[in-house]
Structure 1
Amino acid sequence: MKALAALALLAALAGCGSSNAAAPPPAAPPATATSAPASEWKIDPSFNSLDLAWIELMIPMDEQLLQVLGMAEKQAADPAVRRFATTVAGGHRDEVEKLKLNRTRSGMPVRNPHVGHDMNGMMTEPEIVALGKTSGPAFDQLFAKNLKEHLTESIVLAKDISTNGKDAAVKYLAGEIQTSRAAQLKELAALAKN
């Protein structure tokens, strides 16, 4: 029951259901749901409910951003934006692998309880479609806006884990994310000035 309460709390913190946030696109395949109820999960006691909720939220957030970064690598007008997207994508791919390893280590099933939810830091499917049809400087501006939202929301969520999480590896990863996202926000701001 604690895990479900924490999932609800983290979903609220992340903005699930808010009208100004976004839902993951159906193009990204959702993780398979498990048939076992949460009460039957054999969760490693080194994880608390917030650790688990954060992992379940960050994986789809990062996977969706990887889709958007892939567009930027091909469609951005500014070569510096394309290079930046490639660098950010590499870090996010590594991060997704770490998140999935922590999910496995925790004993949590592979699932995505956030499918169809509006969440801060994520684009809606129509926004992704529109971005895919955009080119030139307009693409760069729209991409930068959405990337900034993702990076900012990721920092907010990671700070909460650094403070209230339990598992040492998860807290360490949250600290890494705060540091990398802050650096990426600075680089993004510098790109916008050019």
Structure 2
Amino acid sequence: MRHHLWKTPALTALIVVGSLTLAACSDDDAMPGMNHGAPSAGTSTTPAAGFNDADVTFATQMIPHHQQAVQMSEMAGYTATTPEVKKLATAIKAAQDPEIKTLSGWLTSWGKPVPTPSHGGHDMTDMPGMMTEEEMSDLGNTDGALFDRMWIEMMIKHHKGAITMAKTEQASGKDAAAIALAKKIETDQTREIATLQRLLGRLPIG
């Protein structure tokens, strides 16, 4: 049966035409979902040339790192008492949710596994700035001004960890889009740390 299939002229022609069509699409399409102002992050037609292990590590680790920040931001949306904290939490979630999707798309296009959603940093605490399950539980059991203070302090630590990871990607990565996103993360979260520190200084002590 296998010999019959490969001796069928019409099927052979379809395979050739299909291959040419896929090649043309790969050349013409610019992966519109991968924006950030940089070239696309490698496609299935050029997997080895466009990225390296550092890019894969960056995307694989930044996804659960961002997921935890989003979880913390959602907690602040329900529990924080300071309007400025709620506003910043909303901004953090709005920025990092799309970045999670972008990072996931890159891993898929590179043929690498996408991390499943994690809650509380289980088995991920070796990453810079990642909260433990106990820390996340403590935050969830806190309210009032104490919650605001704890949330800010934890988010500063979390952001500093993300900046460390972003700097590593900029120094060691190969994919232009991944490096550009790392630079964006460093810039955005450095600015947010300054805002968090200002907010922390305004909170009552104790």
If the TM-score is normalised by the length of the shorter chain, which range does it land in? Answer: 0.7 to 0.9
What percent of counterpart residues are identical?
32
Closer, same or farther in 2 for the Cα pair 1:115/1:78, shift >3 Å? closer
C-alpha contact (below 8 Å) 1:72/1:81 kept by paired residues: yes
Mark the structure with the bigger radius of gyration: 2
Quote the residue 2:136 is aligned against: 128
C-alpha contact (below 8 Å) 2:169/2:179 kept by paired residues: yes
CA distance in structure 2 between the partners assigned to 1:117 and 1:95 by the alignment: 19
C-alpha contact (below 8 Å) 1:65/1:122 kept by paired residues: no
Residue from 170, 174, 182 that aligns with 1:174: 182
User: Any stretches of 5+ residues in structure 1 without a counterpart?
Assistant: 1-41
**CA positional deviation for 1:159:** 0.9
**CA positional deviation for 1:105:** 2.0
CA distance in structure 1 between the partners assigned to 2:180 and 2:97 by the alignment: 17
Q: Does 1:44 align with 2:47?
A: yes
C-alpha contact (below 8 Å) 2:58/2:169 kept by paired residues: yes
CA distance in structure 2 between the partners assigned to 1:43 and 1:57 by the alignment: 23
Which range is displaced more, 143-152 or 121-130?
121-130
CA distance in structure 1 between the partners assigned to 2:113 and 2:46 by the alignment: 9
Residue identity opposite 1:118 in structure 2 = T
C-alpha contact (below 8 Å) 2:122/2:133 kept by paired residues: no
Query: TM-score normalised to the size of structure 1?
Result: 0.73
Q: Does 1:162 align with 2:166?
A: no
Q: Secondary structure at the match of 2:129?
A: coil
Q: Does 1:116 align with 2:127?
A: no
Query: TM-score normalised to the size of structure 2?
Result: 0.69
C-alpha contact (below 8 Å) 1:43/1:107 kept by paired residues: no
C-alpha contact (below 8 Å) 2:59/2:103 kept by paired residues: yes
CA distance in structure 2 between the partners assigned to 1:150 and 1:182 by the alignment: 11
Aligned Cα RMSD in Å? Answer: 2.0
Q: Does 1:55 align with 2:51?
A: no
Closer, same or farther in 2 for the Cα pair 1:161/1:169, shift >3 Å? same
CA distance in structure 2 between the partners assigned to 1:117 and 1:109 by the alignment: 16
**CA positional deviation for 1:102:** 1.4
**CA positional deviation for 1:117:** 3.7
Q: Relative contact order (C-alpha < 8 Å, sep 6+): which is higher?
A: 1
**CA positional deviation for 1:54:** 1.0
CA distance in structure 2 between the partners assigned to 1:69 and 1:43 by the alignment: 37
Equivalent residues, number: 153
User: Any stretches of 5+ residues in structure 2 without a counterpart?
Assistant: 1-44
Residue identity opposite 1:140 in structure 2 = D
CA distance in structure 2 between the partners assigned to 1:47 and 1:177 by the alignment: 19
Residue identity opposite 2:79 in structure 1 = Q
Which structure 1 residue ranges, 4+ long, deviate > 6 Å from structure 2? none
